[in-house]
Amino acid sequence: MALNGKLVRVDQLSPAETGQMFHLMHTFYDNMERAAFYSDLSRKDTCILLRGEKGDIRGFSTQQLLHIDLPGERVHGVFSGDTIIHPDEWGSLALHKVFSRHYFPYGERYGEFYWFLISKGYKTYKILPTFFREFYPSCLGAVPEREQRIIDAFGALLYPGEYNPATGVVEYHSVKDRLKPGVADITPRLARDKHVAYFLRRNPGYTDGNDLVCLARLSKVNLFPRPRTMLFGKEAEE
């Protein structure tokens, strides 16, 4: 049964919905503290809820609009926070479709609009090479100077004192939530994938909950043809 995805404002979530969200995170993450979860949720603007055929929440992702000031310019983007999809639903495009159809149009408003992403696991990072022509950091080439400034500014803004510009990783000082063993482990077979191997090199502390800070421009021309059609339909084909 296909998942039903819907974007809602965080301040419109019911206690029952946020309770289901926390339960889902707690099921698949170690060190998931209720107070920290609700505090993080309160700082977000929107949430994409994914419901199954019985109406139960099978996944979700939170978002926060960000405006970052750099020398001579202001950079606009959206930050994806807590995100989880039940493993039984892996492969569904429902989350990507709702996210894309809501946030890609911001590129028309601002001229340039970015996706700020922190990758705690390889599956999150693999979204980037699967969908995007250009994204950073990547095994395909060095991060351009401007994009590196954006990444560093984002990391310093949201994670002061924990973002390490030398590694591009948020290295948490306290115990941090992390995927439970067996949920999305990097096996020797998976590590042969060049993008997974790169993620592992860049974020060797992922098992401790550390996050690799990533960036991609949200633009249809930055999508590969097949995912562009899957997300937006044939009318988006070049």
Domain ranges within the chain, ordered by starting residue: 4-236
CB of 82 within 8 A of CB of 38? no
Cβ–Cβ < 8 Å for 213, 155: yes
The CA distance from 144 to 167, in Å, is 15
> At the fourth CATH level, which superfamily is domain 4-236?
Gcn5-related N-acetyltransferase (GNAT) (3.40.630.30)
| Predicted TM-score (pTM) of this structure | 0.92
Please report, in tens digits, the pLDDT of each residue of the chain (238 residues total): 589 999 999 999 999 999 999 999 898 888 888 999 999 999 999 999 999 999 999 999 999 999 999 999 999 999 999 899 998 898 899 999 999 999 999 998 999 999 999 999 899 999 999 999 999 999 999 999 999 999 999 999 999 999 999 999 999 987 677 777 777 778 888 889 999 999 999 999 988 889 999 999 999 999 999 999 999 987 665 5
